[in-house]
Amino acid sequence: MINNKKIVIICHNYEPERIPVNPYQSNRFFTYGFGSNVGRSLKKYCPDYEIEVWRLDSYADKYYEGKLQGVLFRVFPSIRLRNVAEFSVNFLKELKKEVNQNDPLLIILHTHYWLAYQVLLLFKNSRIVTTHHGEWSPFFRVKNTKGMRKMKARIDMFIEKKAYKNLDYIFTSDMNHVKYLRMANPSIEYFLWSTGVNFDHMVPIQREQARKELGWDLNKKYILYVGKLYKFKQVDEMIMLWQGLKKERPEIELVIIGNTPGDPWEEFYSLAVNSGAMVLGRILNKDLYRYYSAADVYLLLALRDDYFGGTGVAALESLACNTPVVSYALRNYTGDNINEIGEVPDTLEKHKDAILKVIDHPENYKNMRESVEKIYSYQSMYLKARTIFDKLLECRPKKRKNQ
């Protein structure tokens, strides 16, 4: 029996434009972001765990804490050197105290960042898990960058070879990422995971009803994409692919959701607007089910060797709304019925035939919502993760051979 089931989730503020500057403005100060989502989901599906979320925040003017939904949130002001490192002396002092008193399991939400390196090197006797969400390993960066970035990649490679000896588990989103992890630690243990799908929001409705609510033409065919308009998801090639299809099949439309005008990452925003596609901007997550339900097919290009984003949450949300997916990212799907839920073309040329196959033969695709719910619902993902967390919590304190 585990006496102490405490988990501390460690993250940093990487989207300051979306987080209030203090908690007096909104609880969103604590609840926005992936760290909060993981913490609250863990507490919901594993209520016997004691959960805290600790965030380093270079935009915070002082230390804050608050308790929401049974989770304690602690925010530590930090000093950040952009794209290099982030430090908080108070954070390290408090973490040392916490480890000495309670020896919690530590979950660090980004794998290839200085925050993970600090914790792995300074708290090597703790049980530590990191999660990966698409960021590049330095073993990949060193071959794909130049100048100072290449130099930093070499430094990070050296650090990871030292630090990853202390890493108990990594939750990674993409199988292509594993070979780079093993360059740092050949015996590293990993779990292929996704952040999961909120099935409370993704409730499918009939396609005809969804189109009537959205004002879409019942006689047209719609390709849907949700996400940033940047090169890593080959948005320019996606638009050209659709334009080629539309010349042959004028009834096929492209709908793009999620873009943010003015965002420096949105390099293909103007291209999208001028292409004739339906560019709709951001839609609240709770309203996306209408668009997924109304579409004939969800499309995500994931052919680049620098794409490490896993299946993609939007692709899973589409399946939860019974709309098939065309994407090479489905190579990361862990179910055994891939042919029932979509197509996995491995070249740009094969995408055209795959899209037409889905549009023209919708009867081929079935059990989509049931399959995704069984594997990727929040409840399923966190209960699977719990088996690993429990094993690590049972094996404390950690003893190293080299200590």
> pLDDT value at position 401?
46
Rounded alpha-carbon distances, angstroms, from residue 106 to 59, 169, 177, 293, 380: 24, 11, 22, 39, 21
In a shared domain, residues 160 and 237: no
Question: Which SS3 state, helix, strand or coil, does residue 319 take?
Answer: helix
Sign of CA dihedral 344, 349, 355, 357: negative
401 within some domain: no
Share of the chain above pLDDT 70, in %: 98
- Is beta strand 79-81 parallel, antiparallel or unpaired with respect to 85-87? antiparallel
143 within some domain: yes
In a shared domain, residues 178 and 56: yes
Q: How many CB atoms lie within 10 A of CB 28?
A: 13
Q: DSSP state, 126?
A: S
In a shared domain, residues 305 and 383: no
Share of the chain above pLDDT 90, in %: 81
Q: Give residues with Cβ within 8 angstroms of 86, minimum separation 6.
A: 12, 56, 58, 78, 79, 80, 113, 114, 115
List the alpha helices (DSSP H) in 249-347. 269-275, 288-294, 313-320, 338-341
Angle between helices 368-376 and 378-394 (to 10 degrees): 20
Q: Identify which of 119, 110, 88 has the alpha carbon closest to the alpha carbon of residue 11.
A: 110
Q: Identify which of 202, 213, 229, 231 has the alpha carbon closest to the alpha carbon of residue 376.
A: 202
Q: Identify which of 69, 43, 39 has the alpha carbon closest to the alpha carbon of residue 54.
A: 39
Tokens linked to 16 = 């300051």
In a shared domain, residues 283 and 312: yes
Q: Are 30 and 23 in contact (CB under 8 A)?
A: yes
The CATH number linked to 150 is 3.40.50.2000
- The overall average pLDDT reported for the chain is 93
Angle between helices 235-248 and 348-360 (to 10 degrees): 50
201 within some domain: no
C-alpha of 132 from chain center: 8
> Which phi and psi (to 5°) does residue 151 adopt?
-65, -45
In a shared domain, residues 31 and 150: yes
> Which phi and psi (to 5°) does residue 256 adopt?
-120, 125
> pLDDT value at position 18?
73
Q: Are 315 and 325 in contact (CB under 8 A)?
A: yes
Compute the residue count for the chain.
Answer: 403
In a shared domain, residues 135 and 148: yes
Task: Quick: pLDDT tens for 32-80.
Answer: 888 999 999 999 999 999 999 999 998 888 999 999 999 999 999 999 8
Q: Identify which of 7, 9, 13 has the alpha carbon closest to the alpha carbon of residue 77.
A: 13
Residues facing residue 252 across a β-bridge: 221
Residue 254: domain span: 207-374
In a shared domain, residues 186 and 211: no
In a shared domain, residues 244 and 160: no
Task: Quick: pLDDT tens for 10-23.
Answer: 999 877 777 877 88
In a shared domain, residues 218 and 364: yes
In a shared domain, residues 19 and 83: yes
Q: Identify which of 325, 318, 326 has the alpha carbon closest to the alpha carbon of residue 352.
A: 326
92 within some domain: yes
Q: Return the half-sphere exposure (C-beta side, CA atoms, 13 A cut-off) of residue 30.
A: 21
402 within some domain: no
* Whole-model pTM over 0.85: yes
Number of domain units in the chain:
2
In a shared domain, residues 249 and 365: yes
In a shared domain, residues 160 and 236: no
User: 399 falls in which pLDDT band (50, 70, 90)?
Assistant: low
User: 402 falls in which pLDDT band (50, 70, 90)?
Assistant: very low
Q: Which segments of 215-364 are extended strands (E)?
A: 221-226, 252-257, 278-279, 297-299, 325-326, 342-343
Tokens linked to 202 = 């993704």
Task: Quick: pLDDT tens for 242-251.
Answer: 999 999 999 9
